[in-house]
Amino acid sequence: MLRADDAIAPMPMGIRGGVALPAALAWHDLAAISIGAMVFEPMDIAAAKAAVGGLPIYLSTELANAPSGSQPAAQISVRQGHAVSLAEMLAGMRTMSEAPPAATSSKKRACQLMTAKIGLIGLGNFARRNIIPGINRARDLDLAAIYDQSPDAVRMVAEGLPPGVVCESVDELVRRDDLDLIYIATPSAAHVELVEAVIAAGRHVVCEKPFASNYAEAARLADMARKAGVVTAVDHEMRYSAIYRGMKNLLAEGYVGNVVMASVNFSTDYSVNPYYPATYYWNFGSIRMHTGGVMRQAISHFIDLYQFLFGSIEARGGYCATMIKQKPELIESVSDQGERVLSAGAMRAVDADDAIALSGCLPNGAPASIAATWSAAVTTGTRWLIQGDEGVLSYEGAVLGGLWGDSLRGARRGETLADLPLPAEQYADMRPTAPGYMGGLIAAQLEDVVAVIDKRSEGMFATFESECAVWKAMEEWDR
């Protein structure tokens, strides 16, 4: 079977998310088409089946059921997160395969046929466990340059990478003119300086959260990026989860009617359990100077999700407390068997918030709240409740370290709360219990960033602009 994966390219003009067939194939050679089904609505697929004049279309998830004589000649996968119409896309593909090939520029992002190249600054825990697997998994994206100030961190990542990927300095990396975008995955204290360097070099930028350390800095960097005309993204990868997409779709369809109240509770032991990475236990978990605390480090994700689901959340009073006021320094060593051994050192003061109760207002005037702690003895995870005048949505994420679970539940007036089927065929590996879930979300997000750079999508990721609103609310809550 010929895979069309390499040939997947946006239409140079006109049709959003169009794809080209491989040169070796013409439309009339096709016996059937298989579509990577993650991005399409069921109705859209039905419309597309009608639009291609009898040619069978199989979702990749349905392939096993295809009759043997009609196995697809081409398998088309489309970058996750594209706002494409499948019918439009197939019509475009058909037109392209019948028309002579259009002249394309040799400049990479202008012709949009080649793999995007990404540089990564900061190769710590989160980069190694999630960002690099995400980059490797993203379609048409190559990890082309890396830098970390720690030689050990570089060593852990560099093995097996082709020559020329490791850079000796930030300056060397940002000056590489083959990079399309640069991902900053250092701790927050270094974000501002690095973002400035990336924007000054005219590169598109993805930055880890918390982006900047306060509203004024965030606003200044957003302004700088706007003037430079670069695409910006902040890593709030949860926007790409099947759960939150499902919630957003249901809210938009009016499943709950007019929202009358929304709340989220997030409770974990992240900042008191020494078996989490030391940076969490101490810096991010406990020290304000390191942009630490449960609000900036964890709840910024939920403030962003309020924006994603409802458009905005306006701060209307809150209380941020430090309940565990001191805890022991961590002393780490490695046993003869190579295991990480932890012991308690001297007690040290905690000055960042670890328990918060925040109130807010949604665009329709409905009250919204966030209650969170990461100093809990027992992790209960994430619990959303969205009440409307027609129904309710409830989400309890109690697996995978307490953040995520698969059970999105709901009820309409007169019904009892029951599991709502998530659109599995669309979001198969975006479900919280899918293997490598975090990397999958980051892959989807990066593909979406590249699609925006290529002007093929509006994008649904958080931007420096949207993160300014997160910072504004956090400062209001933490006066």
The least CB distance from residue 290 to ligand NAD, in Å, is 9
The least CB distance from residue 435 to ligand NAD, in Å, is 18
Among 17, 124, 381, 432, binds ligand NAD (CB under 6 A): 124
Among 12, 22, 56, 187, binds ligand NAD (CB under 6 A): 187
Site stretch for ligand NAD (CB under 6 A), options 135-143, 179-187, 388-396, 411-419: 179-187
Q: Which is nearer to ligand NAD, 263 or 279 (CB)?
A: 279
- Pairing of the two strands 314-321 and 355-361: antiparallel
Among 75, 77, 188, 232, binds ligand NAD (CB under 6 A): 188
Question: 226 to 265, contacts with ligand NAD by CB under 6 A?
Answer: 235, 237
Degrees (nearest 5) of the Cα angle 293, 400, 409?
100
User: Which residue type, as a one-letter code, is found at position 312?
Assistant: S
**Which residue is closest to ligand NAD by CB?**
124
The token duo for 123 is 């190769």
Q: How far apart are CA 353 and CA 358, in angstroms?
A: 12
Give strand pairing partners of 386.
262, 393
Q: Which is nearer to ligand NAD, 142 or 208 (CB)?
A: 208
The least CB distance from residue 466 to ligand NAD, in Å, is 15
Among 96, 121, 182, 272, binds ligand NAD (CB under 6 A): 121
Mind giving me the DSSP string for 301-319?
A: HHHHHHHHHHS--EEEEEE
CB atoms inside a 10 Å sphere around CB 130: 21
Q: Which is nearer to ligand NAD, 170 or 305 (CB)?
A: 170
Closest CA to 3 of 17, 21, 16: 21
Asked whether position 304 contacts ligand NAD by CB under 6 A, the answer is no
Degrees (nearest 5) of the Cα angle 403, 407, 409?
125
Q: Which is nearer to ligand NAD, 268 or 297 (CB)?
A: 297
The least CB distance from residue 114 to ligand NAD, in Å, is 28
Q: How far apart are CA 320 and CA 340, in angstroms?
A: 33
The token duo for 13 is 């003009």
Asked whether position 295 contacts ligand NAD by CB under 6 A, the answer is no
Among 119, 122, 246, 459, binds ligand NAD (CB under 6 A): 122
Classified as helix, coil or strand, 289 is helix
Q: Which is nearer to ligand NAD, 310 or 461 (CB)?
A: 461
Q: Which is nearer to ligand NAD, 121 or 469 (CB)?
A: 121
Measured between alpha carbons, how far apart are the two ends of the chain, in Å?
61
Q: Which is nearer to ligand NAD, 188 or 241 (CB)?
A: 188
User: Which residue type, as a one-letter code, is found at position 408?
Assistant: L
- Pairing of the two strands 355-361 and 367-373: antiparallel
Closest CA to 450 of 187, 150, 117, 195: 117
How many residues bind ligand NAD (CB under 6 A)? The answer is 26
Among 37, 153, 197, 368, binds ligand NAD (CB under 6 A): 153
Closest CA to 30 of 108, 101, 90, 78: 90
The least CB distance from residue 167 to ligand NAD, in Å, is 10
Asked whether position 292 contacts ligand NAD by CB under 6 A, the answer is no
> Cβ(33)–Cβ(56) under 8 Å?
yes
Among 88, 140, 142, 208, binds ligand NAD (CB under 6 A): 208
Asked whether position 209 contacts ligand NAD by CB under 6 A, the answer is yes
The least CB distance from residue 423 to ligand NAD, in Å, is 24
> Long-range contacts made by residues 341-345, C-beta under 8 angstroms, separation at least 24?
342/274, 342/275
Q: Residue numbers of the site for ligand NAD (CB under 6 A)?
A: 121-127, 147-150, 153, 170, 185-188, 190, 208-209, 235, 237, 277, 279, 284, 297
